[in-house]
Amino acid sequence: MPVSTSESAYDRRRLRQWLAGEARADGVARRDMLRLLAAAGLASGGALPAFAAPAFAAPTNTTAPGIVKPLPDDRFTVRGTNAESKFASFAGTGYHTPADRFFVRNHTSTPVLDAADWRLTVHGAGLRGGPVDLTLRDLKRLPAVTRTAFVECAGNGRSFFTSQQGQPVSGTAWTLGAIGTASWRGVRLADVLRRAGLHRRAVDVLPRGLDPDYVTADGTNLGRVRRPLPLSKALDDVLLAYEMNGEPLPYDHGFPVRVVVPSWIGIASVKWVGDIEVADQPLYSPWNTDFYRLFGAAYPEGGSAPLSRQTVKSAWELDWDAALDARVAHRLTGRSWSGAGGVVRVEVSTDGGASWRRARLHDTPRRHGWVRWSTDWRPSAPGSYTLLARATDSAGRTQPDTTVPNTQGYLFDAVVRHPVRAV
């Protein structure tokens, strides 16, 4: 908290003016301004002003437009407005992904909100009464629950459609680092909806973010990020989370409150939630019509049903083309997960898939989470090797050799061929 000297009071006023577009900060990176705001305990109470292309330093691989937290390049790969976690940086970090290594997927930019001004409005024809407004305090008075769940982008692994299968796809070219697992604390969405007075006819629930409108590359304004959730899932295990790994949510991950939809694709877990419409009829948004369905030769004209649960995946905690000492025994580690149940078996190959063996699992299979695993390997000679890991979940799903393609590159689940060098 800032000390209350007149200088700091002035500084806060200046920062407020900057937020209002009344102060200039030529030559200062926007990210640095955001950090100043955070340090001053200041926030905008709404979306930050959207700036045109910054006139200052070009982004390096340690900054992303609109992301507040530091993105050191040993932990993150910046992809547009997003930051992918480097899987190698998860090694030894424990079960839960520390916030300083957790990937960020932003359609626009992180709004720095003030918890004291924040309100959640629950409204719509699916309620028996009028709109209900809740403050953060109101939420914190409801019974708190803590739940471990991964958040994983529907496009995680997308780049492998192209690099392994030769198929062009649109969207952020993630490798496997668009996932993180955290312990989320908050209240059940079900409790909030019931308190707001659910009508018998309620069918869909539409949480909406407080980040700026999303404008597509061709200039279409799609409005604020929002995606309908069927009432059945909303009442099942969805959280309105205000803590991540025992701390208030970081700005980039939805401060002060985000939705967490366990095992579903990341877009369902709306960050910076400001209002929730409860509808008595099915709802649509671009995020369940144009995006987050499967389109392509193998799918119907209008696409598949809207995507919900994630698929099965595995990743090694190693850099791409990592160099390992030849003729030395290594303990290699990785993680596997699935949206359809816990991972019960992981098989690995260090010879490009010619032979397979079981990896050692270090966690018991658990829904909505991942398992850490390891395998010992001694490269017999210097040279190039291909590592593979293949998981099976409790629903009996095993990672295939290839994934049926879809134009937007969602739900890649095939075994990834990970190159390493023995030197």
Interface residues with ligand MTE (CB under 6 A)?
102-107, 151, 153, 209, 211, 225, 253, 266-267, 269-272
Nearer to ligand MTE, 212 or 334 (CB): 212
**Candidates 128-136, 140-148, 266-274, 300-308; binding stretch for Mo ion (CB under 5 A):** 266-274
Separation between Cα atoms, residue 346 and residue 371, nearest integer Å:
9
Is 234 buried (19+), middle (13-18) or exposed (0-12) by CB count in 10 A? Answer: buried
Nearer to Mo ion, 105 or 271 (CB): 105
Nearer to ligand MTE, 179 or 388 (CB): 179
Q: How far is the CB of 84 from ligand MTE (least distance, A)?
A: 10
Residues 6+ apart with CB under 8 A from 381: 326, 327, 422
Separation between Cα atoms, residue 335 and residue 363, nearest integer Å:
10
Q: Which does 209 bind (CB under 5 to 8 A by kind): Mo ion, ligand MTE, none?
A: ligand MTE
Separation between Cα atoms, residue 273 and residue 224, nearest integer Å:
10
Question: Which one of 228, 266, 342, 365 is in contact with Mo ion (CB under 5 A)?
Answer: 266
Contacting Mo ion within 97-126 (CB under 5 A): 105
DSSP-derived letter for residue 253 is G
Q: Which amino acid is at 235?
A: L
Q: Which does 269 bind (CB under 5 to 8 A by kind): Mo ion, ligand MTE, none?
A: ligand MTE
Contacting Mo ion within 131-170 (CB under 5 A): 153
Q: How far is the CB of 352 from ligand MTE (least distance, A)?
A: 31
Q: Which does 103 bind (CB under 5 to 8 A by kind): ligand MTE, Mo ion, none?
A: ligand MTE
Q: How far is the CB of 149 from ligand MTE (least distance, A)?
A: 12
Q: Which does 270 bind (CB under 5 to 8 A by kind): Mo ion, ligand MTE, none?
A: ligand MTE
Nearer to ligand MTE, 107 or 158 (CB): 107
Q: Which does 264 bind (CB under 5 to 8 A by kind): ligand MTE, Mo ion, none?
A: none
Q: How far is the CB of 69 from ligand MTE (least distance, A)?
A: 10
Is 290 buried (19+), middle (13-18) or exposed (0-12) by CB count in 10 A? Answer: middle
H-type alpha helices, 256-395: 286-289
Q: How far is the CB of 4 from ligand MTE (least distance, A)?
A: 33
Nearer to Mo ion, 145 or 222 (CB): 222
Closest residue to ligand MTE: CB criterion: 209
Q: How far is the CB of 297 from ligand MTE (least distance, A)?
A: 25
Q: How would you classify the pairing of strands 313-316 and 273-279?
A: unpaired
Nearer to ligand MTE, 28 or 115 (CB): 115
- Give the CB-side neighbour count of residue 240, counting CA atoms within 13 A: 32
Nearer to Mo ion, 399 or 408 (CB): 408
DSSP string, 106-171: -SS------TTT--EEEESTTBSSS-EEE-HHHHHHSPPEEEEEEEE-TTTTTHHHHHTT-----S
Nearer to Mo ion, 105 or 335 (CB): 105
Helix (H) or strand (E) holding 33: helix 30-39
Site string for Mo ion, 64-103 (x = CB under 5 A): ----------------------------------------
Q: How far is the CB of 223 from Mo ion (least distance, A)?
A: 17
Is 256 buried (19+), middle (13-18) or exposed (0-12) by CB count in 10 A? Answer: buried
* Residue appearing with tokens 């649509």: 284
Beta-bridge partner residues of 71 = none
Helix%, strand%, coil% for the chain, nearest 5: 15, 30, 55
358, 352, 306, 307: which is closest to 336 by C-alpha? 358
Q: How far is the CB of 103 from ligand MTE (least distance, A)?
A: 5
Nearer to ligand MTE, 268 or 361 (CB): 268
Burial readout 92-116 (b: 16 or more C-beta within 10 A, e: otherwise): eeebbbebebbbbbbbbbbbbbebe
Nearer to ligand MTE, 211 or 237 (CB): 211
Q: Which residues bind Mo ion (CB under 5 A)?
A: 105, 153, 266-267
